[in-house]
Amino acid sequence: MDPERSPLQRISIIVERARLYLRVPREHEALYRKAGEEITRTVRLYKAKYPNQSEIPSGGYLAMAAVDIAVRQEEVRQALEAKTEQLQPRLQKINEALENLIHSSCDLLQH
């Protein structure tokens, strides 16, 4: 298959001094690069917060960053879910009003 037509693209990103080679959907390349930058930034924050590396297990900073990012993602998911639940009744009323308007218009056109 022509590499230009493949839905996947081979990229390399650096996360905490480790070069990773990934095959990602072309349209998501920028997201993967930003994710790598966010992981590196979060690891650096934890290294600054806990500078004594002898107290941190191997891979500990990366694990802390993973938990931190997962918590932030869950907060965003919950906020979106709450917003969706908040909008549901309003959308339902709008939908009912539109359905009534459509039915009224159809009735007028038939007479």
pLDDT reported for residue 91:
94
pLDDT tens, position by position, 41-99: 999 999 999 999 999 998 999 999 999 999 999 999 999 999 999 999 999 999 999 99
Given a contact cutoff of 8 angstroms between Cβ atoms, the answer to whether 20 and 14 are in contact is yes
Q: Is residue 34 part of a domain?
A: yes
State the residue range of the domain holding 99.
8-110
Spatial separation of the C-alpha atoms in residues 83 and 77, rounded to whole Å: 10
Q: Is residue 2 part of a domain?
A: no
Q: Inform me whether the pLDDT recorded for 1 exceeds 60.
A: no
Q: Is residue 1 part of a domain?
A: no
Look at the chain and report how many structural domains it folds into. 1
Q: Is residue 32 part of a domain?
A: yes
Full-model pTM: 0.73
Spatial separation of the C-alpha atoms in residues 71 and 106, rounded to whole Å: 51
